[in-house]
Structure 1
Amino acid sequence: SQFEVDLYQHRSACQSPLDLQYREEILKLEKAGGRKNCRIFTYTDHDRFTNLEEHCQRVTDSDHEVPSYLAERMANVRRRRQDCRPIEASSLKSKIITWEPSEEFIKNNHVINTPVQTMYIMGDLGPYGKLGHREYEHVLCTIKVDGNGVMTVKPDFTGTKGPYRIELDGEKREVWKYTIENASVQVQPEEEEREQRVLRELYSRHKECLSGLVGSEFEITLPGTLRLFVNGEIVSAQGYEYDNLYVHFFLELPNHWSSPASQQLSGVTQTCATKTVGWDNVAYFCYTFTLEMFLTLGDESGDSLPQWPVLYFEVLSLDFWQRYRVEGYGSLVLPASPGLHVLTIPTWRPVELGTVAELRRFFIGGSPELEDITYVRTPAAFKGERLSRLGFRTETTGSVTFRLYCLQQSQAFLETSALRQRMRSVLDRLGGFSQQSSVYSVLEAFQRARRRMREARESLPQDLTSTSASAV
């Protein structure tokens, strides 16, 4: 830059061997007639500007910004090319996780310290006759190259976009426009093929290294089998009448489903007192459970739709005399798609008519219970065409919130890796579950529409609804 040319003219301004080298180059350049381009120049890692630029970066555009404690601490952490140390052969077999890190290890690894080389392409945008003033120097482009060979150009090449603009402060409000183009020579086909071959060898070695770290004990499911793994949590229960709640649950596996012999398909949470949150009394359980099951379909079951496992649960309350009451029954169909699912399931309980039943429930803890909890849905032992619940009286109670992390594993997922545009769900190949899910979605949409129609009818004035009914 013109500032450096003027600075290094004086011997007293040189403070390092690099400054002395710059002075000699400037003197040779002056003898040769001076430099032709006075506007564009560069700064590199070891220049004074690079240190000031990295230490004085701001987060906001406020003139009164105060650097935070983290910014002050990180100002001295410079990502520069470090001395390369020989890598021992045993380092590739080291553990991925350091369970007991030392203080020195934490000090050296608490930040990303990838070696980086930086170059700033600058522009002296001062008026003619005033070149070399630091206030007119602006960064046009920043080029960084890390230790992995990744080059970062900021801002990006102009391409089809318009030129970049820099508006100066002052009376004239001058506007400078510039473009950034990639002037590199196109790579020859032979060199590109050689580069691809080197990359393939590098990736194969990296894959072998990862395989050595992971091992060969990864379980593979059998063909035509879907493995469903659920990490579940009973988060909370809210809206119930009594305190000291607990939840009893169990999983029902339909036909063609199985689970390992060591898998526990039922459980009971701890007793939890409620706290007032808004208008409801909420009991936070945070009870975790794990479910593992397999779906295997043979040729004889190709025409039938597979059923999905159902989680049945009941909410009970416990009083001071260790007497329990049934607060509600509910059921949950495990999600058919992998990922995180947060579900809030409403519950109900059977009731008896009359005040005596409620007094019995309050004083001695007796209340009607379901002999078979699968009666919440269609019981497994029911073989008829229609299940009548005529005369069965129930009362809506509170709700229970579940958080489910579902994982699915099947060899059918591998078959679609090469044909992602034709990817279908593995459940489609295992028995047409998509047909069943579409039927369920249509029924749910019909129920939602029916519920909205009922709510809209209830919100109308009474005289209007009676007039429409008489007209019909």
Structure 2
Amino acid sequence: MAEPGWSSDAGGAVYRSRDPVRNLRIRVHIQRVTSASLLLQQLQPPAGQQGKELISLATFSSHPAASGYCPGDEEEAVIGWQEKLFSQRCQKVTSSEQEVPSFLVERMANLRRRRQDRRPAEGSVLKSRIITWKPSEEFIKNNHVINTPVQTMYIMGDLGPYGMLGHREYEHVLCTVKVDGNGVITVKPDFTSTKGAYRIELDGEKRELWRYTVENASAQVQQEEEEREQRMFRDLYSRHKEYLNGLVGSDFEMTLPGALRLFVNGEIVSAQGYGYDHLYVHFFLELPSRWSSPAFQQLSGVTQTCATKTLGRDNVAYFSYPFTLEMFFTQEDESEGSLPQWPVIYFEVLSLDYWQRYRVEGYGSVVLPAAPGFHTLTAPTWRPTELGTVSELRRFFIGGSPELEDMTYVRVPGIFKGKCLSRFGFRTETTGSVTFRLHCLQQSKAFLESSALRKRMQSVLDQLGGFSQQNSLYSVLEAFQRARRRMQEARESLPQDLISTSTSAVQQP
């Protein structure tokens, strides 16, 4: 049975501090408590039953040498962070030949030092796996956890009997302190500021009992120093904020009046439904009239060669190829409110065989969406063919197939100036399709002006009394305008003499 006031909760506690960990101080107080003295405290008979048993117990406890108890058998120490206090078992660190190597010396002698400049030799193959094709649940759990470096300090006590200090079996961990780089301090067991002392009961004939306390002995910061530190932190944060604002800038980049800026973050997701393997996509952007792009903008690109994967009935090649497009539209006539044409992405899908020969698998096009936001588009493709089986045999064995000289022939070519484009007699074959993902952003001063105009109109209408009065006011004004237009039309349709007569008749008293 434990002494009243002792703590049975040896769980840890987590603290967070912004101070350097070198300022941490822990006070540990440990005292030996024997079984005889404990029995004297807990087996105290009630009043009026003082007898031989009490006399014998008092006599037994009055001989410290027989019971193994000494009134001064206690120790207190204040330990700093990573302060080295070696036990008698680890203190023998001399180079004398007659001295037996200590436990610490043996561990240091067998320590493997890591070579920082170690490089794999040329032509050698690393033994570690670069890719784990079938990871286990334990592997996924261990490799998907953010491991923060943690430093650990152990405070241990040598609880051996008299004359037997320095043995490993009598060493016990009193407290474990862990500190990470984020200022999180874990103490196990927790400080005994509001709890009772902890107990350690040893195995053996005497079954000796020890009690110890763990307290935070760090120097408390003064209020003036704490306020000065808070001011320093606020000044540091404000300077860092000003520095970031200086890097970003306060002026928002605006387009010219009457211009529209279109920014597209796109991705060629996949190509499916083609007969051959090892596909890649070549694409370019065509800008219609009054569209332009910056000088650094690349308007074409080629994806990587991708092997197909069977998914259902189709063979699918996943590219996940990202691209970025930026372009500007300049409106020449301010009265024109609609955009004549939008940019078009033309692309062709090709396959590569074992002899590095390519075949055209299909042509297609995608018109950039006119609405901003996220769009997923799947464009079908086709390829030109020839009559007979000779062309297919040539395509299979030798490679090559009929190609388009101008890829814009997929739609209406840009150089075509006629009114009717005839494709009569042009033989094609439907092939697979290509999937695009487009994130479109539009920027124009007209959007800002229209938004401000809506806000001003809304504020005026709010002052007039809300949406109900707005509707009634609009209805009255529209009815008045319609009646006025009808009166003008009726007046214009009448003969001039009748108008003058009716006018004079009206003017007569």
Normalising by structure 2, we get a TM-score of 0.42
Normalising by structure 1, we get a TM-score of 0.46
Larger Rg, first or second structure (1 or 2): 2
